Amino acid sequence: MSERPRLTVLSGPSGVGKSTVVAHMRKMHPEVWLSVSATTRHPRPGERDGVQYHFVDNDQFDKLIANGELLEWAVFAGNRYGTPRQAVQDRLDRGEPVLLEIDLQGARQVRESMPEAQLVFLAPPSWDELVRRLTGRGTEPQHVIDQRLDAAKVELAAETEFDTTLVNTSVEQVAAELLALLGVV
């Protein structure tokens, strides 16, 4: 009996450590494939086009939507983000696991269009620790941090919509738990 290839969504409030956990996991297991989203957000120092994101302008994002090229998309803290459909479909067609790191609105859209997807929520050990991490990262001005913390309250309230919650206390432990959910180890 062959199991249907699985799509896994990792969501959680900004600053909880999603990118850190995924980066750690891929250092140990480079074969884990993560979808590269398109975004209208400007690159942070060190981010490269085509690696962390496909950085596009508003017109390019409009075209992606109009051409039906996005599996899902959302506005988050003033910028648009979306998952390119084709690359995900190609992987699933080949029977390979797919990981999306997207926000709550995107996770809800995936649940609608692909009910077999597994939804994983990454939670902070506490609210104060989330604020510390988001502020400590030092990548956003205070008004953007405030916007992201407002969004975080909504995201934390939606935790029960997810199939599994992982609490990001230890990056190593959460990465191992996520690998197990992906069926890699």
Q: Reduce the secondary structure of 132-177 to three states and give it as a string.
A: HHHHHHCCCCHHHHHHHHHHHHHHHHCHHHCCEEEECCCHHHHHHH
Give the x-and-dash track for 59-78 against ligand 5GP (CB under 6 A). Answer: -------------xxx-x--
- Which amino acid, one-letter code, is at 164? T
Q: Judge whether 102 and 72 are in contact, CB under 8 Å.
A: yes
Q: Which stretch binds ligand ADP (CB under 6 A): 30-38, 39-47, 81-89, 130-138?
A: 130-138
Options 36, 92, 167, 171; binder of ligand ADP; rule CB under 6 A: 171
Which regions of 46-117 does DSSP assign to beta strands (E)? 53-55, 70-76, 79-84, 98-101
CB of 21 to ligand ADP, least distance (A): 7
Q: Which among 76, 120, 116 is positioned nearest to 101, based on CA atoms? A: 120
Per rule CB under 6 A, is residue 52 in the interface with ligand ADP? no
Q: Please, which of residues 113-172 interact with ligand 5GP by CB under 6 A?
A: none
Per rule CB under 6 A, is residue 14 in the interface with ligand 5GP? yes
Instruction: Tell me the residue length of the chain.
Output: 185
Per rule CB under 6 A, is residue 168 in the interface with ligand ADP? yes
Per rule CB under 6 A, is residue 80 in the interface with ligand 5GP? no
Residues that bind ligand ADP (CB under 6 A): 12, 14-20, 133, 136-137, 168-171
